[in-house]
Amino acid sequence: MSARELIANDPTWLSLVKAVLVFALLLVITILLIWFERRVLGRMQQRPGPNRVGPFGLLQTVADALKLAFKEDIRPKLADNWVYFLAPAISAGAAFLAFSVIPLGGQVNLFGYQTSLQLADMPVSLLVVLACSSVGVYGIVLGGWSSGSPYPLLGALRSAAQVISYEIAMGLSFVAVILFAGSLSTGDIVDAQGQGGVWYAFLLPVSFVIYVISMVGETNRAPFDLAEAESELIGGYHTEYSSIKFAMFFLGEYVNMVTVSAVATTLFLGGWHAPFWLGGVGGGVLNTGWWPLLWFLLKVVFMLFIFVWLRGALPRMRYDQFMKLGWKVLVPVNLVWIVAVVAVRTMRNTGVGTAQLLTIIGIVVVVVLAIVLLLPNRPAASDVEEVPVTGGDHPLPPLDLEVPKVPKRKPVAAAPAPELSAEEEGVPDGRA
């Protein structure tokens, strides 16, 4: 029985139990993820990271979350009350919702019922993921707008443009997977990568790479965290938020990370199937019962590690470069790739043999290479009329630069010491 049929037989109470379990799982993962991220970042930056609260600092996030909940809830005077309140809820809600279609495992016995470890599966599950991410943007955009302050608005505008652009690349990278799996249902896609099937990450490497790039853009994470770039926009869309509302945004972002990682696992890394040769151990026993949950979580953690790795390794991109990457590289490459995939599949379907196929591909590659070689080189820009540069290619400041006169110091009455805003310290680990 396919996952969809199993789930369709669930009684209502079982669905509710599953919903609660998924919710709890996401909360626990989020709490651990924040700790994980700080520890890994710490290791990358030659420092220990949080290690005081609980064993290995594991409870640090719990402590931060509790503290955050008890902070003063500040509402700017110009804020639009209802929308200001609604935005964090949308952000977190949409993030949770998307996870409901992710298959966490195969067939298990849950409270005496044979069911699948998945909350819901529809014929169009994959589109649900896209729909949730497109609704989730509302949280960010409305949060930025309703704060009634310029920096959040700028962050919101950036974020809207960014998420819409990268959703296109993301949706296109699904297309090749859908073509191979022949279904939009997440359960079917995982099944298609199961026994004897190849993980789509190996079969469709271009789609996988584009998906990984666009998922980072989609979740506003470094190096694409331009919507909250603190060096330009303070905190972006959530500048004015504090206390539990801020926590909701925070939660939404991390749950989103988990969700897109889970989608990557489902679509490209074989879902809950045991990795590599392990699937064959003991006649496939590692693909039954509760084992798949372990493989699934391991793969998700691997994807999350990539997120953290990127954050630790790469500087933030400039906004226009980022949009250019999306529209001028990811989308066109994706389109060409889809056309190629469709062509190859059509040829396979019409009975073209492997040798012939490889010959055709070879010819196409040669033709493309020839065209590329024949294209005239772009003339290099001349250096005349440029400012003199130093050895390190930096522009040289003019040697006759006038230094402004230092004004005379005047005695000034002592000013009251600036109060340190409590908010600055409260954010767990900042968004550095």
Partner 1 sequence: MTVSVYEEIAFWILGPLSLAGALGMLFSRSAVHSALWLVLTMLSLGVLYMVQDAPFLGIVQIIVYTGAIMMLFLFVLMLAGRESSDSVVEVLRGQRIWASLLGIGLAGLVVAGVARSLGDVTPAGLDNPAANGSGGPGNVANIGQSLFTRYLFPFELTSALLITAAIGAMVLAYTRKQAKGGKNRQREMVNMRFRENTRPGALPGPGVFATADSVATPALLPDGSIAKESLSRIIETTPVTQIEEDEALADRHPDAHALTGAARDGDDGASIVASPASEERSE
Q: Name the site residues for partner 1 (rule: CB under 8 A).
A: 80, 83, 122-124, 127-128, 130-131, 134-135, 137-138, 141-142, 144-145, 148, 150, 153, 156-157, 160-161, 164, 167, 184, 386-387, 395-398, 400-402, 406-410, 412-413, 415-416, 418
Question: Minimal distance in Å, beta carbon 419 to partner 1?
Answer: 10
Give CA–CA dist 199/193, Å, rounded.
5
Cβ 389 to partner 1 shortest distance, Å: 10
From CA 227, how far away is CA 237, in angstroms rounded?
A: 7
Shortest reach from residue 142's CB to partner 1, in Å? 8
Long-range contacts of 411-414 (CB under 8 A, 24+ apart): none
- Given the complex with partner 1, which of 163 and 308 has the nearer CB atom? 163
- Report the residue number, 321 or 356, with the smaller CB distance to partner 1: 321
State the amino acid at position 104 in one-letter form.
L
Q: In this structure, what token pair is assigned to residue 220?
A: 């506003």
Q: How far is the CB of 122 from partner 1 (least distance, A)?
A: 5
* Comparison of 47 and 410: residue with beta carbon closer to partner 1: 410
Nearest residue (CB) to partner 1, 36 versus 151: 151
Three-class DSSP category at 376? coil
Report the alpha-carbon distance of residue 172 to residue 204 in Å, rounded.
12
Looking at beta carbons only, is 137 or 300 nearer to partner 1?
Answer: 137
* Closest to partner 1 by CB, 366 or 396: 396
* Concatenated DSSP letters of 391-416: TTSPBPPPTTPPPPPPPPP---PPPP
For residue 389, how many other CB atoms are within 10 A of its CB?
11
The minimum distance between CB 246 and partner 1, in angstroms, equals 18
Burial of 351 (0-12, 13-18, 19+ CB in 10 A): exposed
Residue 319 burial by CB count (10 A; 0-12/13-18/19+): exposed, middle or buried?
A: middle
C-alpha torsion sign, points 317, 319, 321, 326: positive
Shortest distance (Å) from residue 420 CB to partner 1: 11
